[in-house]
Amino acid sequence: MTKNRFVPEFFPGLPCAAGAVFALSIFLTAAQAQAQGLRPSSPLRLSDPAAVARTPAQAGGQRQADFIVAVVNSEPITNSEVRLKLIRTEQQMLQQGAALPPRGELVGQILERMISDKAQLQMARTSGVRVDENAIEAAIQTVATQNQITTDQLRARLKADGIDYAQFRSEVRDELLVSRLRQRELESRISITEQDIDQFLRDQEGGAAEPSSVVLNLGEILVAVPENATPDQVAALQAKAQQVLDRARAGGDFTALAAEFSGSATRATGGQMGLRPADRYPPLFLDATKNLPAGGFANLVRSGAGFHILKVIEKQQGGMPGAVVTQTHARHILLRLNPKQTEAAATEKLAEFKKRILAGQADFAALARDNSEDGSAKEGGDLGWASPGIFVPEFEKVMNALAPNQISDPLVTRFGVHLLQVLERRETQLSQRDQREIARNVLREKKQNEAYALWAQDVRGRAYVEYRDPPQ
C-alpha cells in the first residue's frame, strides 16, 4: 500500500465577522488521493461568505451608502465588501499577534487581493472547469464535520449570523471552481528532479536548511479576552490562563484542558494546530516557542484575542537524514457520509461493530473487508506503518491517544466516520526512500507556492481593472 508522505497542514479557519462561533475551513480530497481516504489535499478556505450577506451596519460599522470601488472585467467590487474584508483581516491579525499596518495601506492590499481573487474566479468560470452538486454537498458536510456539528446545525448558525445559506453555498462552489483551476494550471508547471532531491538532502546535512524546513506541531489553548474587557477582567482571565498552564505543566491532559478551556478553533483537534513549516505560524507563536524542545511549554502569550498557552508537540527538521520517528500500525473501518447514510446512522453502526468486536462476536478485519468504504478494505482495514503527520490531525489525535490493541469510539473526520484500532508502535529510523519522499514533498510545496505567485500575477495582469472611488 503506497503511502502519501505529504505533511498535512491544519488550517483552523477564519472567524466570520460579528462573532461567528465556528471556523469555515474546507479540506477537499483530490481525485488522485490515496485509497485510504485519510490524506488531505491542499486546504481550501472560504473567501468571505458574509461579505455579500451582511450590511456594513451589521458588521459593526456605521451604515453608509454603498458604492463601487473597482470593476474587474465588468464585475464590480463594492465598498461594503472591502470594509467587511478589512474587519475580518484586522481580527485575524490581532488574534495572531501581528502588528497592524496603517489602515490605508492595509485597505489597498485587501483591495488588490480581492481583484486578484475575482479575476481567478472569472477565469475558472470560463475555462471549462466544472463542479457537480455532490462535490458542493460534500464540501459543506466537511465544513460541518470540521466544526463538530451537523449540516442542519450549520444552517442554523449561518442563519443566526445573518448569512444567507444560498449565498454561502454559492461561495463554496466558487472556491471549488478556483481550487480546481489552480490545480490544473499549476500541476504542469512543477517538476521535481532527482538532482533537486539530492541537493536538498546535501543542504540538510550541511546545515544549510532554510527556516521553512523546520516543521512544528504546536498545541494551543486560548483563554479569550473580550474586546472591551476592564483591567480587572483581564487580570482575572490572565490568572485563569496561568492556572491552566500550571496544570498542563504538571502533567495534565492537554487535549482535555483544551476541550474544557480553549476558545480557539483548534479546540476541535485537542488544541493541536497540526504539522506545518515553522514560517506558517504567527510570529508571536514562533518567538515564544523557538527555543523549546518537543514537550515544552511557553510562558503565557498575549495577543489581541486573549492569553495563549502554547506547547511544542512535535519539532523536526524536515527531511533531515537519520531522523528517528515513532510509527504507528493501525487499521480502521470507514463509512462515508451521503444523503442515505447520515453521520448519526454511521456512528450508530460503528458503535455496534465495536460492541460486537469486544464481545468476541465479530472480527475487526472481517468487518472492515465487508463494510469499509475505502481502499484499505481488502486488507482488512490495515493502514500499514505510518509516521507522524501522515494522517489528518483529527484522525491522528485519536490514534495517538490509543494504546496498542485498543479500539476507539466512532470518530468523525472530514472523510466520514471511522472505527480505529491501534495494533502496535515502534521507533524507527527513516529509510533513505522515506527521506527522499519527504524531500520531494517539501520541494513540491515550495515550487507550488512559487508557481502560484507567478500564475496569480499573470491572471491579474490579463484582467481589465477600472478603479472607481477609493474605499472608505
Residue 318 pLDDT: 53
User: How many C-beta atoms lie closer than 10 Å to residue 270's C-beta?
Assistant: 23
* CA separation for the pair 178, 186 (Å, rounded): 12
* CATH 3.10.50.40 applies to domain 215-317: yes
Q: Could you state, in order of their start, the residue ranges of all structural domains in the chain?
A: 14-191+463-467, 215-317, 324-429
The architecture in CATH of the region 14-191+463-467 reads Orthogonal Bundle (1.10)
Residue 171 pLDDT: 87
* CA separation for the pair 373, 370 (Å, rounded): 9
Q: Which helix (H) or strand (E) holds 78?
A: strand 75-78
Question: Is-contact 292 298, C-beta < 8 A?
Answer: yes
Residue 354 pLDDT: 94
* CA separation for the pair 408, 418 (Å, rounded): 9
Q: How many residues does the chain have?
A: 472
Q: Tell the residue number behind the cell numbers 485519536, with chain if given.
A: 398
* CA separation for the pair 379, 171 (Å, rounded): 39
Whether the domain at 14-191+463-467 and the domain at 324-429 fall into the same CATH topology: no
The CATH number corresponding to 324-429 among 3.90.550.10, 3.30.930.10, 3.40.190.10, 3.10.50.40 equals: 3.10.50.40
φ/ψ region of 342 (left if φ > 0, alpha if ψ in -120 to 50, else beta) reads: beta
Residue 201 pLDDT: 80
Q: How do the pLDDT tens digits run along the chain, 472 residues long?
A: 333 322 222 222 222 222 222 233 322 222 222 323 343 333 333 333 333 334 334 444 444 568 999 999 999 999 999 998 888 888 777 766 666 788 888 898 899 999 999 999 999 999 888 887 877 887 787 777 666 677 888 888 888 878 888 888 988 898 888 888 888 888 778 888 999 888 888 876 665 445 555 778 889 999 988 878 899 999 999 999 999 999 999 888 888 888 888 887 777 677 888 777 777 788 888 888 888 888 899 999 998 888 999 999 888 765 454 567 788 999 999 998 887 888 888 889 999 999 999 999 999 999 999 999 988 999 999 999 988 767 877 788 788 888 899 999 888 887 888 999 999 998 887 777 877 877 787 788 778 878 888 888 899 989 999 999 888 8
Give the three-state DSSP class for 455.
helix
φ/ψ region of 74 (left if φ > 0, alpha if ψ in -120 to 50, else beta) reads: left
C-alpha cell at 255: 487535549
* CA separation for the pair 84, 17 (Å, rounded): 7
- Name the H helices within 250-363: 254-261, 283-289, 343-358
Per DSSP (E only), the strands in 338-415 are 382-386, 411-413
What lies within 8 Å, CB to CB, of 385 at 6+ separation is 327, 328, 329, 426, 428
Q: Which helix (H) or strand (E) holds 301?
A: strand 301-303
* CA separation for the pair 104, 107 (Å, rounded): 5
Q: Which helix (H) or strand (E) holds 153?
A: helix 151-160
